[in-house]
Structure 1
Amino acid sequence: MDLKLLFFQAIGGLGMFILGMKLMSGGLQSVAGDRLRNFLEKVSSNRVVGALTGAVVTAVIQSSSATTVTVVGFVSAGLLTLTQAVGVVLGANVGTTITAQLIAFKITDLALPAIALGVGLKFFAPRRKWRYIGEVILGFGLLFYGMDVMKGAFKPLRSHPEFIAFFTRFDADSMLGIMLCVLTGTILTVMVQSSSATVGITMALASEGLLNLPGCIALILGDNIGTTITAELAAIGSSVTAHRAARAHTMFNVLGVLYIVVFFHPFVGLVEWATSTFLGVGPPETLIGGEKPYIARYIANAHTLFNIINATVFLILLPLLVKAAIKLTHGDDDGNFEDLAKPLHLDRMYLDNAAVALTKAREEIVRMGWAAAEMNQKVCKVLFTRKRDALKRSLTIEDSLDRLHREIVEYLVQISRSDITEAQSRELASLMRMANNFERVGDTVENLAEFIEEIMESELQFSDEAIKDYKTITERVSMFMDMVVTAVAEKDPQIMEMAKLLEDDIDQMREEMRNNHLNRLRDGVCQMDPSLIFVNMLNNFEKIGDYCFNISQAVAGVR
C-alpha cells in the first residue's frame, strides 16, 4: 500500500470537491445572486420570515458564507437591524445543509457526463447566462467526482491496522470521545474554510467503514462551530452592530452544539429513527461489499436536523440571543472616523465573489460619504467657533479621503477584471462614480476650510445678512449630503426627485445670495475682502450640490 499515493489521491479528491462546490456556488450566484441580494435587503422584520429568507437564499446560492458575509455587510451599512440579521443567519444555517443532502445521493455515475456538459457550456456557449449554467453543472460534476476520488483513497485504509486504530478514537461512546470528535470537526472546518467540505470528508470516511454514525454526527457538530469563523472574519473592522451579528452567529452554534452534546445519544437515536421510518433507508452500519451504502444519508439528515432544531430553539429565544450578543460586544457606533485612510471592508478574500465584493465596496463608499459629510459640517461650524484645531482635523480627514478613494478605485478595478454580469458591471460603474464624487466633495470642503482660515487670520467679518445666508445654504448642503449617503447605503432608486429639488434650490440660493451680497457691497454695507471670499464660498457650496446630484444619479442608475 503506497500511503503517499493515497494521501495525494485524498487531497486531490478534496481539492476537486472544493473546486466543484466553489464553481457551483459561483455560477448560481452569477445567475441569481443579485436578485437574491436585493431580496435580502427587503427582508421582513418578522423573525420567522427572516429565517425562511436566509434558508431559501442559501439553498439557492449554495453558500452560507456568502449569505452571512452579505448580511454582516447589510448590518454594517444599516440596511438590516441586528434582530433581522440574526434571524436571516439562523435560516442560512439550515439552507447550507442542502449541500450535504445532495452529496448523500448516489449519483456519482453522472459526475463525468456533468463535467463534459459543464465544460462545453462554460467555454463554448454563446450567451453569458448559459456559461454560468455550465459553471453550475461543471461544479456539480467536479463535486461528485472529487467525492468518489476521496472514497477511493480511503478504501484501502479500512484494512490497515494503524488507520483502524486511529479512527477508533472517533468512536463517540463516551463524553470524552464526543468532545474529541467535536473539536476535530471544528478544527478541520476552520482549516478548509468550508463546512460542506468537512461533511464530504466525513461521508467519504464513513462510507468506507472507517467511522461509525455517532462519531460522524459528533464531527458534524464540530463542523457547525468551525463555520462561524467566516462571519467573525467578515465583521473585522465593521460596525459594532456587525460584530454583534457575527457574535450571535457564533453563540447559537456553540450553544446549540453544547445542548445536543448533553442529549447526544437521544439525538443519534432520533436521526436513526427519522431516517429509517420516513425515508425507508437501511441501518447505517449495514456493510455491502465492504462499504456502508446508507450511512451518508444518515449523516446528511443529522446535519439538517441539528440545524432545524437549533434554528427553531433560537428563533423562540431570539430576543435573549440579541441581548446577549449586545452585552458580549462592547462599544457604540458613534461615527468615529479615526484611521479613515485604512479600508475596513475591502477584503481581498471576497474578490472571487463579485456580488459580495461589490457589497463590501459599497460599505466602504458609504463610510467615505459619512466622513465627507462630517468634514463638511465641522468646517462650516468653524466660522462661528473659530477653533483652528477643528480645521486641522478636517484637513486630516481630506487627506485620508484621498487615500481611501484610491483604495476603493483599485478594489473596483480588481472586481472588474473578474467574470461579472452586465448588472454587476453597471453597479460597479455607479460605485466608481459615487467614490469619485465623494472625493471631489472632500476637495471642495478643503477649499472652504482655506477660505475660513483666511478669514480668521485676517480677522475679517461678514455682515449679519451674509451670516444668515451662510447658515441657510450650509444647512441645505448638509441635508443634501446626508440624504445622498443614506441613499447610497439603501440603494434608494427614488432619490432623483428630491435630489433635483435640492440641487435647483442650492443653485438658486447661490444666485440670489451672490446678487444680494453684491448689492450690499455696492451700498457700502460690506467690505471688499470678505465679500470676495463669501462669493467664492457660495460657488463651492454650489459645487458640492452638483457632486451630490451626480451621486444621486449614480444611485438611481440614471448615469
Structure 2
Amino acid sequence: MEFPILLNLIFELVGGLGIFLLGMKNMSDGMQAVAGNSLRRLIGSITQNRLFATTVGVLVTCIVQSSSITTVMVVGFVNSGVMALTQGVGVIMGANIGTTITGWILVLKVGKYGLPLLGAAAFTYLFAKSDRWRYWAMFLMGIGMVFFGLEIMKDACAIIKDIPDFEAWFARFTADTYFGVLKCAMVGCIMTTLVQSSSATLGITISLATQGVISYPTAAALILGENIGTTITALLASLGATTNARRAAYFHVIFNLAGVFWITLIFAWYIKLIQSFVGVDVTKMVVVDGVETFPNTVAAIAATHSVFNVANTLLFMPFVGPIVKLLERVVPGRPFKEKPRLTDLDIRILETPLLALEQSRKEILKMGDGCLKMLDWCLELMNQDEPDQALGDRLKQRERVLDSVQDEVAEFVTGLMAANVSHSTAEEGGKQLRVADEYESISDYIVNLDKFDRKLRRDGLRFTIEQREDLGRLNRQVTEYVAAIHQALIKGDRNIEVASEPAFKRIRTEVKALRRKHLDELSVGSMPPAVSVAFMASLNAYVRVRDHANDVAETIAVDR
C-alpha cells in the first residue's frame, strides 16, 4: 500500500465530508431564515391529531434539513411543557420522513454544477443588500457545497479500488445473508453515532455505492443502521430533562429499532421492491473519466430511506396511544416537581433560533399578563378596609417572579444572539430584551404603589375616600392603556403607538388635573404630610407605568 495514495484518500474524504456538512448547515440556516415565520406558525399549529403532527414534522424537517435538529427541538418543547407527549411523538415520526429529502436532493444530476452554483451563490451572498436575497443565496450556496463535497468524496472513494487491502476490507461487509444485513446495519449505526449526522453517513454511503466499492444491498443495510444511529442525538438531549422529554427520546429509539427489525426480516424482498419501484437497474455501469461508476444507486438509496420511514410511520401511527401509555408506565414520573426554572425556556431549542425566539416571546407575553393582574390586585388592596394579607403577599411574590423571569429571558436571548444568527433574528432578540425589561420595571412601580398605601396604614393614616376614587379612576385608565399595548404585542400590531396616543394624552391630562386638585386641597385645608407625599408618589408611579408601557409600544412599532 502506497502511503501517498492513502494520504490522498484521507485528505479528499475528510475535505469532501467537511464541505458536505457545511453545505447542509448553510442549507438549513438559509431555509430557516427564509421560512422563519412559516416555521413558527407550523410549530404553533400542532394539535393532538397525530396525522397533522406528523405532517408538521415532515415539513419542519424539510426546512431545517435535519431530523436531529427537529427531534432535539421536540425534546425541548416536551421538556418545557409547551408540547404534549402525543404531539411530540407525531412530530418525531414526521421528522424521520422529512430527513429523507436529503437523499432525493442528491438524486438530482447536478453534481458537476455544484462548484459553479456555489460560486454564483457566494457572490450573491456577499454583495446582495437585501437580507432575503442573502439567505436565499446561503441556501443555494449550501446546495452547491453539498454536491461539490459529494463529488470530492466520490473521487476519494474511487481511490479505494487502487488499494487492494481496503477493497478487501470493504468486501467483508455484504448484505447477502441475514447476519450480513445486521452487520452492515450496525456499521451504519456506529458511523452515524460517531459523526452525529445521518446526512454525513448518507453522503459517504452514496459515494461508496456509486463508485462500486459496496453493492446496493450493502448500502441499503447501512442506511437502515443510520436510522438507529441518529437517535443518539435526542437521547443525549433528554439527559437531565423531565420525564416526558425522556419518554419522547425513548419513543424515537423504539420507533427506529422496531422499524429496522421488521425490515431486516424481509430485507431481500424489500430491496427487490425498491428496485422495481424506482425502475432503474442499480447494476448498470457508466464509465466517467475512465472510472467505472454506478449512478443509478443514488435514486435506489434515496427510495430505500424514504419508503422505510413512510412504511414505519404508517405501521406505528395506529399504535401511538398504546405506546405512549406503555412509556408512561415503563418511565414513571418523579415524586418531586421537575421544573427547575420559572420559564418554559429550554437551551435545546437554541439550535433553531426562530423557534427559540417564539419560546421567549411566549414568556414575555406571560410577563405582560402578570403586570395586568398586579394592577387589578393593587387597586383591590387600596380599597379594602383591612388589606387581604394573602393577596398582598401574592402581589409581592408576582413581582419577584417577574424579576426572575426577566433574568431567565435575558440569559436565554443573550445566549441565542451570541450564536451566528441573522440580522433580523438579532434585531428581534434585542426587542424582546427591551420589552422584558419594560414589563419588569412596570411590576416594580406597581409594587411601589402598594407600599405607599401600606406605609400610610402602618402610621395610622389612609388616603381619603376622594383620593382613593381619583387613584382608582387613574388605575383603570392606565390598566386599559397597558392592556391595549399588550394586545398589540400579541397580535404584532405596529400601528399601536399611533392608536394609543390619545389614551397616553388622556392619562397625562388626568395626572395634571389631579396634581392641581391636590395642591388646591393643600392650600385650603390641613392634610398630613405623609398622605400628601404618598399621593404625589402614587401619581408619579402611574406616570412611570404609562411611560414604560409606551416604550413597549415604540418597540412594537419599529419596522421588523
TM-score band (shorter)?
A: 0.7 to 0.9
Q: Given the alignment of the two structures, is residue 305 of structure 1 paired with residue 307 of structure 2, yes or no? A: yes
Q: Quick check: 64-73 or 151-160, which moved more?
A: 64-73
| Alignment partners' CA distance in 1, 2:193 and 2:370 | 35
| Alignment partners' CA distance in 1, 2:311 and 2:89 | 16
Q: Given the alignment of the two structures, is residue 295 of structure 1 paired with residue 294 of structure 2, yes or no? A: no
Q: Given the alignment of the two structures, is residue 13 of structure 1 paired with residue 12 of structure 2, yes or no? A: no
Q: Is the 8 A contact 1:463 1:525 kept in 2?
A: no
- Structure 1 residue 305 displacement after superposition: 1.0
Aligned to 1:269: 269
| Alignment partners' CA distance in 2, 1:357 and 1:110 | 35
Q: Is the 8 A contact 2:181 2:221 kept in 1?
A: yes
Aligned to 1:320: 322
Q: Is the 8 A contact 2:445 2:545 kept in 1?
A: yes
- Uncovered stretches (5+) of structure 1, i.e. residues with no partner: none
| Alignment partners' CA distance in 1, 2:50 and 2:542 | 45
The letter for the 2-side match of 1:109 is K
Normalising by structure 2, we get a TM-score of: 0.74
- Structure 1 residue 363 displacement after superposition: 5.4
| Alignment partners' CA distance in 2, 1:263 and 1:448 | 68
- Structure 1 residue 140 displacement after superposition: 1.5
Q: Is the 8 A contact 2:33 2:422 kept in 1?
A: no
| Alignment partners' CA distance in 2, 1:106 and 1:518 | 82
Aligned to 1:195: 198
Change (3 A) 1:262 1:39: closer
Q: Is the 8 A contact 2:75 2:88 kept in 1?
A: yes
Q: Given the alignment of the two structures, is residue 102 of structure 1 paired with residue 105 of structure 2, yes or no? A: yes
- Paired residues for 1:205-224 under 5 Å: 205-224=208-227
Q: Is the 8 A contact 2:220 2:301 kept in 1?
A: yes
Q: Is the 8 A contact 1:115 1:138 kept in 2?
A: yes
Identity of aligned residues (%): 32
- Paired residues for 1:22-421 under 5 Å: 22-43=25-46, 46-68=49-71, 81-158=84-161, 160-164=163-167, 166-168=169-171, 170-172=173-175, 178-231=181-234, 244=244, 247-248=247-248, 250-274=250-274, 276-283=275-282, 290-324=292-326, 328=331, 330=333, 344-346=345-347, 350=351, 354-359=353-358, 361-362=360-361, 365=364, 384-385=388-389, 397=401, 400=404, 403-404=407-408, 406-408=410-412, 410-411=414-415, 414=418, 418-421=421-424
- Structure 1 residue 333 displacement after superposition: 12
- Structure 1 residue 157 displacement after superposition: 2.4
Q: Is the 8 A contact 1:245 1:325 kept in 2?
A: no
Normalising by structure 1, we get a TM-score of: 0.74
- Uncovered stretches (5+) of structure 2, i.e. residues with no partner: 382-386
Q: Is the 8 A contact 2:72 2:349 kept in 1?
A: no
Equivalent position SS for 1:146: helix
The letter for the 2-side match of 1:244 is N
Change (3 A) 1:263 1:401: closer
- Write out per-residue CA displacement over residues 151-191 of structure 1, whole angstroms, 9 at most, x where no aligned residue: 22222324545434543554456666555544443443344
Q: Is the 8 A contact 2:182 2:264 kept in 1?
A: no
- Structure 1 residue 302 displacement after superposition: 1.4
The letter for the 2-side match of 1:385 is Q
Change (3 A) 1:347 1:309: closer
Q: Is the 8 A contact 2:40 2:358 kept in 1?
A: no
The letter for the 2-side match of 1:302 is T
Change (3 A) 1:347 1:440: farther
The letter for the 2-side match of 1:148 is E
Change (3 A) 1:252 1:349: closer
Q: Quick check: 10-19 or 548-557, which moved more?
A: 548-557
Change (3 A) 1:174 1:468: farther
- Structure 1 residue 408 displacement after superposition: 5.0
| Alignment partners' CA distance in 2, 1:325 and 1:472 | 55
| Alignment partners' CA distance in 1, 2:240 and 2:478 | 30
Change (3 A) 1:159 1:493: same
Equivalent position SS for 2:7: helix
Aligned to 2:384: none
| Alignment partners' CA distance in 2, 1:374 and 1:233 | 40
- Paired residues for 1:461-480 under 5 Å: none
Q: Quick check: 154-163 or 302-311, which moved more?
A: 154-163
Question: Highest Rg: 1 or 2?
Answer: 2
Q: Is the 8 A contact 1:55 1:94 kept in 2?
A: yes
Change (3 A) 1:284 1:426: same
Equivalent position SS for 1:317: helix
- Paired residues for 1:530-545 under 5 Å: 532-533=533-534, 536=537, 540=541, 543-544=544-545
Q: Is the 8 A contact 2:278 2:300 kept in 1?
A: no
| Alignment partners' CA distance in 2, 1:237 and 1:456 | 48
| Alignment partners' CA distance in 1, 2:202 and 2:438 | 47
| Alignment partners' CA distance in 2, 1:552 and 1:492 | 10
